[in-house]
A = this chain, B = another copy of it.
């Protein structure tokens, strides 16, 4: 009987539990055992493992966070850490490792793969910054969480005729700002992929004022090259309007996963086990168009996410 190791790594993302459930239950139907590794690569190094049965993943599909806990592991970046990890995998007769995480976690998985471990990557990060897949697990929930916040902020902004800057997550990838900006009806968005143009922001706010639209919502990704506090000042100075900011921070990571994220988690988690069952080599699972697809995990980490410029110009048109 095969044995799979399963871990969640990096920042938590809504849908990780749905992916865990899919891996464990699919493994069960194929007669494969699943060992849960706690706190990502940290638990792998420290041999902190639990048995996962089909019952132990019941009633978790709707929960945010991860029952396996997660961590970022500095030690795992060293030879020592990786050797210890492999030693522990062997000790438990684990044939393959499923890694649920983002870019950094996949790089760690690559390292293991190069050393002969069969690894499957399931893309879990709210940032949507993995270039090989159209969407990552957690992204849709995060965008909906931002929309919910924007809707509340809009009540206050429009009652007070105020411009509000909402800072969302995204250090290198502006997708949360881009999607939430378009669907939240934001007046302007700032993302790391596009150079900051504070003049354009000021112009946009002034244009609204001219039309008696005295409240304005600006969404800014955290990775943008101006601090939110500075942007507030610049916009206030340039427009004479009252400007306030809200930093959504860790709010965006939690919450019950959306239908879309649970679906993606179920499909990719399940596919990871099928690939292991079919004696595949190490792969990263993702979604392309409407299809679940997989590519070599080494290739996966080499593909940089491209910003969707069409959406950017659509925001401009639709916020008119």
Contact = CB atoms under 8 A, between A and B. Distances in A.
A320 interface: yes
Interface in A40-81: 54-55, 58-59, 61-66, 69-71
Interface residues of A, number: 81
Interface stretch (A87-95, A113-121, A152-160, A299-307): A152-160
Contacts of A59: 154, 158, 185
A210 to B, nearest CB: 12
B164 A250 contact: yes
Contacts of A318: 21-22, 25-26, 266, 270
Given A183-B266, A259-B180, A320 B156 contact: no
Contacts of A254: 151-156
B317 A25 contact: yes
A280 interface: no
A115 B169 CA distance: 51
A270 B317 contact: yes
Contacts of A152: 64, 145, 250-251, 253-255
Interface in A179-225: 179-180, 182-185, 211, 213
Nearest to A62: B151
A22 to B, nearest CB: 6
B28 A320 contact: yes
A259 B185 contact: no
Contacts of A213: 55, 58
Nearest to A262: B183
A276 interface: no
Interface in A142-173: 143-145, 147, 149, 151-161, 164
A9 to B, nearest CB: 11
Contacts of A134: 290
Interface in A265-320: 266-267, 270, 288-291, 314, 317-320
A160 B145 CA distance: 20
A161 B26 CA distance: 26
A159 to B, nearest CB: 4
Contact of A259 (B147, B247, B256): B147
A70 to B, nearest CB: 5
10 contacts: A26-B317, A29-B320, A61-B183, A65-B159, A70-B160, A140-B260, A147-B259, A147-B262, A152-B250, A153-B250
